[in-house]
Amino acid sequence: MFRITQAEIDEMRASQYDRSVLADAEPWLAFTKRADRLIAEIETAFAGVRLGDGIGLLEASGLDDYAPGSDLSDLRELDEKTDWRRIDDNALSRANAANKGEGGPPCFVPSVHGWNSVSDNTPARRYLPIR
Protein backbone atom coordinates (compact mmCIF):
# COMPACT_ATOMS: atom_id res chain seq x y z
CA MET A 1 0.00 0.00 0.00
CA PHE A 2 1.21 3.48 -0.83
CA ARG A 3 1.12 5.62 2.31
CA ILE A 4 1.11 9.38 2.32
CA THR A 5 0.41 12.07 4.90
CA GLN A 6 -1.23 15.47 4.67
CA ALA A 7 2.16 17.01 5.46
CA GLU A 8 3.67 15.26 2.44
CA ILE A 9 0.87 16.48 0.18
CA ASP A 10 1.34 20.00 1.56
CA GLU A 11 5.08 19.72 0.89
CA MET A 12 4.39 18.52 -2.66
CA ARG A 13 2.03 21.47 -3.16
CA ALA A 14 4.63 23.91 -1.76
CA SER A 15 7.26 22.37 -4.03
CA GLN A 16 4.96 23.03 -6.98
CA TYR A 17 4.31 19.46 -8.01
CA ASP A 18 2.10 19.12 -11.04
CA ARG A 19 -1.64 19.25 -10.26
CA SER A 20 -2.14 15.78 -11.73
CA VAL A 21 0.41 14.35 -9.28
CA LEU A 22 -1.39 16.05 -6.39
CA ALA A 23 -4.73 14.76 -7.67
CA ASP A 24 -3.31 11.23 -7.76
CA ALA A 25 -1.86 11.55 -4.23
CA GLU A 26 -4.97 12.83 -2.46
CA PRO A 27 -7.03 9.60 -2.69
CA TRP A 28 -4.09 7.77 -1.12
CA LEU A 29 -4.37 10.06 1.89
CA ALA A 30 -7.93 8.83 2.50
CA PHE A 31 -6.77 5.25 2.00
CA THR A 32 -3.91 5.79 4.48
CA LYS A 33 -6.35 7.11 7.07
CA ARG A 34 -8.56 4.02 6.60
CA ALA A 35 -5.50 1.79 6.95
CA ASP A 36 -4.53 3.54 10.19
CA ARG A 37 -8.04 2.90 11.55
CA LEU A 38 -7.72 -0.77 10.58
CA ILE A 39 -4.36 -1.02 12.34
CA ALA A 40 -5.93 0.48 15.46
CA GLU A 41 -8.75 -2.08 15.24
CA ILE A 42 -6.24 -4.94 14.90
CA GLU A 43 -4.28 -3.68 17.90
CA THR A 44 -7.47 -3.30 19.94
CA ALA A 45 -8.82 -6.71 18.92
CA PHE A 46 -5.60 -8.47 19.87
CA ALA A 47 -4.69 -6.34 22.90
CA GLY A 48 -3.59 -8.53 25.76
CA VAL A 49 -3.33 -11.67 23.63
CA ARG A 50 -0.43 -13.79 24.87
CA LEU A 51 1.30 -16.78 23.35
CA GLY A 52 0.78 -18.95 26.42
CA ASP A 53 1.55 -22.58 25.60
CA GLY A 54 1.18 -21.96 21.86
CA ILE A 55 3.91 -22.20 19.26
CA GLY A 56 5.51 -18.88 18.30
CA LEU A 57 6.93 -17.83 14.95
CA LEU A 58 10.52 -18.83 15.71
CA GLU A 59 9.61 -22.23 17.06
CA ALA A 60 7.23 -22.79 14.13
CA SER A 61 10.04 -21.93 11.73
CA GLY A 62 12.28 -24.44 13.49
CA LEU A 63 9.60 -27.11 13.29
CA ASP A 64 9.17 -26.44 9.59
CA ASP A 65 12.94 -26.79 9.14
CA TYR A 66 13.06 -30.07 11.14
CA ALA A 67 15.34 -28.50 13.77
CA PRO A 68 16.55 -30.79 16.56
CA GLY A 69 14.78 -30.60 19.91
CA SER A 70 17.54 -28.57 21.56
CA ASP A 71 17.28 -25.93 18.84
CA LEU A 72 13.49 -25.90 19.17
CA SER A 73 13.85 -25.25 22.90
CA ASP A 74 16.21 -22.35 22.19
CA LEU A 75 13.82 -20.93 19.58
CA ARG A 76 10.88 -21.28 21.96
CA GLU A 77 12.80 -19.27 24.55
CA LEU A 78 13.40 -16.50 22.00
CA ASP A 79 9.74 -16.29 20.94
CA GLU A 80 7.80 -13.27 22.24
CA LYS A 81 5.22 -14.52 24.71
CA THR A 82 3.51 -11.47 26.17
CA ASP A 83 3.14 -8.70 23.56
CA TRP A 84 2.87 -9.63 19.89
CA ARG A 85 3.73 -6.03 18.91
CA ARG A 86 7.28 -6.65 20.17
CA ILE A 87 7.95 -9.58 17.86
CA ASP A 88 11.33 -9.11 16.25
CA ASP A 89 11.18 -7.87 12.66
CA ASN A 90 13.65 -10.55 11.59
CA ALA A 91 11.31 -13.27 12.86
CA LEU A 92 8.49 -11.73 10.87
CA SER A 93 10.70 -11.54 7.79
CA ARG A 94 11.62 -15.20 8.07
CA ALA A 95 7.96 -16.17 8.51
CA ASN A 96 6.97 -13.95 5.60
CA ALA A 97 9.74 -15.34 3.39
CA ALA A 98 8.60 -18.89 4.15
CA ASN A 99 5.01 -17.88 3.28
CA LYS A 100 3.74 -18.94 6.66
CA GLY A 101 0.21 -17.76 7.26
CA GLU A 102 0.12 -18.46 10.98
CA GLY A 103 1.71 -15.17 12.00
CA GLY A 104 -1.57 -13.51 12.92
CA PRO A 105 -1.68 -9.87 14.04
CA PRO A 106 2.08 -9.27 13.97
CA CYS A 107 1.97 -10.01 10.24
CA PHE A 108 -1.27 -8.09 9.58
CA VAL A 109 -0.02 -4.69 10.69
CA PRO A 110 3.07 -4.51 8.43
CA SER A 111 0.85 -5.58 5.52
CA VAL A 112 -1.59 -2.77 6.23
CA HIS A 113 1.26 -0.31 6.71
CA GLY A 114 2.42 -1.17 3.23
CA TRP A 115 5.99 -1.96 4.15
CA ASN A 116 7.93 -3.44 1.25
CA SER A 117 9.37 -6.04 3.55
CA VAL A 118 8.80 -6.49 7.22
CA SER A 119 12.51 -6.52 7.97
CA ASP A 120 13.26 -2.94 7.03
CA ASN A 121 10.12 -1.26 8.43
CA THR A 122 10.34 1.22 5.57
CA PRO A 123 7.06 2.54 4.21
CA ALA A 124 6.68 1.97 0.50
CA ARG A 125 7.88 5.41 -0.55
CA ARG A 126 9.58 4.34 -3.75
CA TYR A 127 6.35 5.17 -5.59
CA LEU A 128 6.31 8.77 -4.41
CA PRO A 129 6.09 10.87 -7.57
CA ILE A 130 9.21 12.70 -8.66
CA ARG A 131 8.72 16.33 -9.59
Identify whether 125 is part of a domain: no
Compute the distance between CA of residue 69 and CA of residue 65 in angstroms, rounded to an integer.
Answer: 12
The arithmetic mean of pLDDT across residues 2-12, rounded, is 91
- Judge whether residue 99 has pLDDT over 80: no
Domain of 32, in residue numbers: 6-120
The arithmetic mean of pLDDT across residues 6-28, rounded, is 93
Domains of the chain: total: 1
- Judge whether residue 121 has pLDDT over 90: no
Q: Which amino acid is at 3?
A: R
Is the pTM higher than 0.75? The answer reads: no
Identify whether 1 is part of a domain: no
